[in-house]
A and B are shown apart, each in its own frame.
Chain A
Amino acid sequence: MSLTRRGLLAATAASAVPMSARAQRPTLKIGVLTDLAGVYQDIVGPLAVECTRLAIADFGVSAKGFDVEIVTADHQNKPDIGASLARQWYDRDGVDIIMEGGSSAVALAVAAVAKDKNKAYINSGGATSDLTGTMCNAQTLHWTYDTYMLAKSTGGAMVKSGGDSWFFITADYAFGHALTRDVGSFVEQGGGKVLGKVATPFPGTTDFSAFLLQAQASGAKVIGLANAGADTINCIKQAREFGIKATLGGLLVFLSDVHSLGLEVCNGLVLTESFYWDLNDRTRAFSERLKAKSPARRAGMAQAGCYSSALHYLKVANDVGVGKFKAAGGADVIEMLKKMPTDDDVFGAGSIRPDGRVIHPSYLFQVKKPSESKGPWDYYKLLSTTPTDQAFRPIADGRCPLIKA
């Protein structure tokens, strides 16, 4: 049974190097654990795998004397499935590092496995800031974004631009309440007011009109959408339908969501990402290279983050020497990754903090009106930038056990 399984995994391997050559050269095995068919498949999913491959191609692995093999699996957004796949990969299949690693719940579960097995893990798609806070560990890095970054940018920056009274539509579970609390505190710090919130059953709410009307009745200037995925999409759609005048603050909205909703529905929505393809020359160059491989879709930040993390991983591996790198335990590998500053086309120059947080600027965007858009995927205009040193939670506030007070 185990032989067939390996055979199957090998069949999905991405390396273009012939078998004979592979045997003699050291091979790094990257496991991309992602949502291949679920609600987040457009936010991460196949394009995240593609971005990881692009990093391997851009780095020019074959000229550097080692090979990289990619295996992929679908965690179905279920922490138990994610954890057991991670366990198998680390235990049996010789995976050196797991990347992407999915939504918050899966991310925390995989991080626990990584710690247990002392293997390396880099998350890009997960939102929870606990990953570098109370639940942080020496085997895990958190790339791309987290809830703190989103809350600070969307909550804080919007108050400055006049959106000073808020009403939240909160998905009634831990994630929704945490997001509401965080954003609310930034709104109040900035001098704004939180007028109220309504908790909506999760999952299973498809009709948000009743809650949107309550939000409207409160007279708030901004309606904060403390939910994700299909819930957010339905809220945005129905707000348009009911002629809601308030600005919508999307707290976890990605480029692919805007794409699937269309500008007609989305225009005016304010959101935060740490990457947008049309941000500067480097992001445009990256996106052009990606377009050659995946013409239909543009990467959002979580997918682009997979490129960034894989590229950094390969750089360090090459620097340290692949043999030594492969032999090191998870905590040592992560330590080596932390030492080198990051620099790539996606996020520009950045660094990795001792608590595992990868830092770079974050951007507040507003979705364009259809008339402002020059063509497909031309969706965002930049409202403001939060610089690297302020974009993420101060290290002391995270209560990460790795950081000695």
Chain B
Amino acid sequence: MFGFTRQQGIAFLVMFAAVVIAPFFLYPVFLMKVLCFALFACAYNLLIGYVGLGSFGHAAFFGMGGYIAAYTAKKWGFNPEIAIITGAGAGAVLGAVFGWLSIRRQGIYFAMITLALSQMVYFFCNQAPFTGGEDGIQQVPRGNLFGLISLQSDMTMYVVVSVVFLFGFLLIHRIVHSPFGQVLKAIRENEPRATSLGYRTNDYKLIVFILSAGIAGLAGGTKSLVFGIATLTDVANAMSGEVILMTLLGGMGTIFGPVLGAIMIGSIENYLAQLGAWFAVTQGVIFVLCIMFFRRGLLGELAARLKLSL
């Protein structure tokens, strides 16, 4: 199924069961937030884990997806599913622009360019009238799914969010395990060689960049409907840092790693909310520890120990 190995299949079933059971024990709003971030991290992982492109500006797509979904749902009365898809589209369009400009350069230049571009998007969102500046777009209605099912209850919304998450997760998995995904891995391992084999590597990179941005937009759009608010937080640099951290902590280039990373960072954030700047310090410490001691991330190290592919 979906090109999973046996172990991955088992891991997927475990994750699926957890998604189903969790809301009966834990606060659903918290879980929805984690699922949105998990999807965002998976989208980021598609780029850094499978193509080796380290973007420092992914918040732009996540945040823009959130703004567009919130705006269309609130001002134009779009149904939630249409609003979320529009948000994903906005992320993809922005991703096309970013990608077109940034894939001309590699490595750290790529990182700095994406960072600078996302800073521009941040300024734009702060000043453009439609985003509501620092107030953001507030009181966004969750609306009725397909015009029929009210999403007002947290449980109903949770079902929608889980479906979006699982869809995005499987989509990414499908991309990675397609022939297209094999070329991506070849680019990551040795780009000149992939070029010499006749692949137009820049085209491949651009396409995957757009896909990653689109899925990030999907996650952002979903999040803004869950919380009924879209704000500058989601386009700010700190958000780009956070998604990198989730992916790194869970394991870059593993399928389930980003999900694990999102759960861990989400929980830490939840507990440390009242401690203010300690959250930033904790994030920084985790960054340093990951880089120094387990660069493959928690799942990556575990998989290597157990000789599994997760």
**Beta-carbon contact of B29 and A175 below 8 Å:** no
Query: Any chain A CB within 8 A of the CB of B296?
Result: no
Q: Contact mask A315-335 → B, CB, 8 Å, 1/0?
A: 000000000000000000000
Q: Is A74 engaged at the interface, CB distance under 8 Å to the other chain?
A: yes
Report A35-79 CB contacts with B as 1/0, cut-off 8 Å. Answer: 011100100000000000000000000000000000111101011
Cβ < 8 Å to B, chain A residues 375-402: none
Q: Whose C-beta in chain B lies nearest to the C-beta of A45? A: B276
Is the CB of A83 closer than 8 A to any CB of chain B? yes
Judge whether A15 is part of the interface by a CB distance below 8 angstroms: no
Q: CA A202 – CA B116 in complex, angstroms?
A: 16
Contact residues in B for A78 (Cβ distance below 8 Å):
231-233
Find out whether the CB atom of B227 lies under 8 angstroms from the CB atom of A174.
Answer: no
**0/1 interface trace, chain B 246-278, chain A, CB 8 Å (1 if under):** 000000000000000000000100110111110
Stretch at the interface among B81-89, B101-109, B128-136, B173-181: B128-136
Q: CA separation between A80 and B135, bound complex, in Å? A: 9
Query: A109 within 8 Å of B by Cβ?
Result: yes
| A203-B138 contact given A76-B276, A85-B273, CB 8 Å threshold | no
List 12 interface pairs A-B (beta carbons < 8 Å), by A numbering: A1-B26, A36-B274, A72-B274, A73-B274, A76-B276, A78-B231, A78-B232, A108-B135, A112-B138, A173-B133, A201-B127, A202-B127
Nearest B residue (CB) for A46:
B276
**Is A344 at the interface (CB under 8 A from chain B)?**
no
Closest CB pairs A-B (n = 10): A37-B276, A174-B133, A36-B276, A37-B277, A173-B133, A73-B274, A74-B276, A105-B135, A78-B233, A80-B231
Q: How far is the CA of A195 from the CA of B138 in the complex (A)?
A: 35
Interface flags for A353-385 (1: CB within 8 Å of B; 0: not) read 000000000000000000000000000000000
Residues A105 and B231 in contact in the complex (CB < 8 Å), given A2-B26, A88-B29 = yes
Task: Provide the residues of chain A in CB contact with B274, threshold 8 Å.
Answer: 8-9, 12, 36, 71-74
**Shortest Cβ distance from A82 into chain B, in angstroms?**
9
Size of interface on B: residues with Cβ below 8 Å to A: 32
Provide the residues of chain A in CB contact with B33, threshold 8 Å: 84
The residues in B between 11 and 30 inclusive whose CB is less than 8 angstroms from any CB of A are: 25-27, 29-30
In the complex, what's the smallest C-beta–C-beta distance from B28 to chain A, in angstroms?
10
Verify B233–A88 contact, CB threshold 8 A. no
CA of A104 to CA of B135, assembled, Å: 7
Minimum CB–CB distance for A358 against chain B, Å: 22
The smallest C-beta distance from B141 to any residue of chain A, in angstroms, reads: 11
A84–B33 alpha-carbon span in the complex (Å): 10
Smallest CB-CB separation from B226: which chain A residue? A84
Query: Does residue B126 face the partner (Cβ distance < 8 Å to A)?
Result: yes
In the complex the two chains form, what is the Cα distance from A91 to B227 in whole Å? Answer: 14
Query: Looking at the complex, which one of B30, B126, B138 makes contact with A109 (CB distance below 8 Å)?
Result: B138
Q: A79-B229, A105-B134, A202-B126 are in contact. Are A112 and B139 (CB under 8 A)?
A: yes
A78 to B235, CA, bound (A): 12
Indicate whether B241 reaches chain A with its CB closer than 8 angstroms. no
The residue of chain A having its C-beta at the shortest distance from the C-beta of B66 within the complex is A80
Q: Indicate whether A336 reaches chain B with its CB closer than 8 angstroms.
A: no
Residue A5 interfacial (CB < 8 Å): yes
B242 to chain A minimum Cβ distance, whole angstroms, is 13
A38 with B276: CB separation less than 8 A: yes
Q: Which A residues touch B146, using CB under 8 A? A: none
Known A73-B273, A74-B274, A80-B231; contact A105-B29, beta-carbon cutoff 8 A? no
> How many whole Å from B40's CB to the nearest CB in chain A?
14
Given contacts A85-B273, A174-B135, 15 further A-B contacts (CB under 8 A): A1-B25, A1-B27, A78-B231, A79-B233, A80-B229, A80-B234, A87-B29, A91-B27, A105-B134, A105-B136, A109-B135, A172-B127, A174-B132, A203-B126, A204-B123
Q: Nearest-CB distance from B36 to chain A (Å)?
A: 12
Tell me if A92 and B276 are in contact (CB < 8 A): no
Could you say which of A4, A41, A74, A88 has the most chain B C-beta atoms within 10 Å of its C-beta? A74
Shortest beta-carbon distance, A300 to chain B, in Å? 19
Q: How far is the CA of A36 from the CA of B278 in the complex (A)?
A: 11
Closest to A112 in B: B139
Nearest B residue to A202 via CB reads B126
Alpha-carbon gap, A155 to B139, bound state (A): 33
B273, A83: Cβ atoms closer than 8 Å: no
Chain A residues within an 8 Å CB radius of B234: 80
- Which residue of chain B is the closest to A35 with respect to CB atoms? B276
Task: Tell me the complex Cα distance, A109–B135, Å.
Answer: 8
Contacts of B139 in A (CB 8 A): 112
Which of B134, B233, B275, B276 is in CB contact (< 8 Å) with A174?
A: B134
CA distance A37 to B277 in the complex (A): 6
Which of the listed residues B25, B136, B233, B273 has the most CB atoms from chain A within 10 Å of its own CB? B273
Identity of the chain B residue whose Cβ is nearest the Cβ of A41 in the assembled complex? B276
* Bound complex: CA A83 to CA B138 (Å): 10
- Among residues 173 to 216 in chain B, which have CB atoms less than 8 Å away from a CB atom of chain A? none
Please, how many angstroms separate the alpha-carbon atoms of A279 and B138 in the complex? 39
- In angstroms, how far is the closest chain B Cβ from the Cβ of A397? 21
Task: Closest B residue to A115 by CB, please name it.
Answer: B139
Q: Are B133 and A80 in contact (CB under 8 A)?
A: no
Complex partner residue of A81 from B29, B132, B233, B267, CB under 8 angstroms: B233
Residue in contact with A173 in the complex, picked from B29, B127, B138, CB distance below 8 Å: B127
Q: Which residues of A contact B271 (CB under 8 A)?
A: 4-5, 8
Q: Which residue of A lies closest to B136 (CB)?
A: A79
The answer for the CA separation of A73 and B270 in the assembled complex, in Å, is 11
With the chains together, A76 CA to B242 CA distance in Å?
15
- A84/B29 contact (C-beta < 8 A), A79-B231, A112-B138, A173-B134 known: yes
**Interfacial chain A residues near B132, Cβ < 8 Å:** 174
By a CB distance below 8 angstroms, the chain A residues around B135 are: 79, 104-105, 108-109, 174
The docked-state distance in angstroms from the alpha carbon of A358 to that of B252 is 54
Smallest CB separation, A50 vs chain B (Å): 15
Contact yes or no, A201 B229, CB < 8 A: no
Take A91-B27, A112-B138 as given contacts and tell me if A80 and B227 are in contact as well, using a CB distance cutoff of 8 Å: yes
A73-B279 Cα distance, complex, nearest whole Å: 13
Distance (Å) between the CB of A106 and the closest chain B CB? 9
Q: Cβ of B227 and Cβ of A83 under 8 Å apart? A: yes
Residue contact A2 to B138, C-beta cutoff 8 Å:
no
**Contact across chains for A80 and B136 when beta carbons are under 8 A apart:** yes
